[in-house]
């Protein structure tokens, strides 16, 4: 085998090993990737039960129901669709009706969402980019306005 042939074989093997390593990393990260969806996207796509995702929108006025110290039910809306959310845990201090929220969890077979973490906006000028984009698309939220 010539010197040029050995070099080509070495480069080919290195690229093969690099490709396999990249494939293994992507496969391992597949379980940790969580996609953001708005209530309208969930309704349109008929998201399958057990799918892990982030749900973002506004907490619908009059929808928050606290059954005991840590169990809370509320509805997230983007103006186009609503999704019922069940959460067990402590809510952020800034969580309230009419405010932006992101809930991370899984869809359940009855069409509601079981959240295992809740994120609320941190001041009156901040809206998570994904939530703002989804609300702008629905015509509910405009730049410079706050969700009251």
* Residue 146 falls inside a structural domain: no
Domains of the chain: total = 2
DSSP 86-108: EEESPPPTT--TTSEEEEEEEE-
3-state secondary structure (DSSP) of residue 15: helix
Assess whether 129 and 65 both reside in one domain. yes
3-state secondary structure (DSSP) of residue 110: coil
User: Residue range 31-55: average pLDDT?
Assistant: 81
| Cα distance between residue 54 and residue 62, in whole Å | 22
Q: Would you say 76 and 59 are in contact if contact means Cβ atoms under 8 Å apart?
A: yes
Assess whether 42 and 29 both reside in one domain. no
For residue 147, the model assigns a pLDDT of 43
Task: Summarize pLDDT for 63-91 with one digit per residue, the tens.
Answer: 999 888 789 999 998 888 889 999 998 88
Query: Which structural domain, as residue segments, surrounds residue 106?
Result: 35-138
pLDDT band with cut points at 50, 70 and 90 for residue 56: confident
DSSP 123: S
Q: Binding site annotation covers 71?
A: no
* Residue 75 falls inside a structural domain: yes
- Which of 122 and 32 is assigned the larger pLDDT? 32
* Residue 144 falls inside a structural domain: no
Q: Binding site annotation covers 87?
A: no
């Amino acid at each position: 085998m010539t010197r040029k042939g050995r070099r080509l074989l070495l480069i080919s093997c290195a690229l093969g090993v690099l490709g396999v390593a990249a494939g293994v990393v992507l496969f391992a990260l597949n379980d940790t990737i969580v996609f953001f969806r708005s209530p309208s996207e969930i309704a349109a796509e008929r998201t399958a039960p057990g799918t892990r995702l982030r749900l973002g929108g506004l907490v619908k006025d009059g929808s928050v129901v606290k059954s005991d110290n840590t169990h809370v039910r509320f509805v997230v809306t983007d103006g186009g669709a609503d999704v019922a959310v069940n959460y067990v845990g402590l809510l952020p201090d800034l969580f309230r009706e009419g405010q932006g929220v992101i809930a991370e969890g899984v869809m359940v077979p009855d069409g509601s969402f079981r959240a295992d973490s809740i994120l609320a906006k941190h001041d009156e000028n901040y809206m998570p980019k994904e939530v703002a984009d989804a609300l702008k698309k629905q015509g509910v939220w405009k730049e410079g306005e706050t969700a009251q």
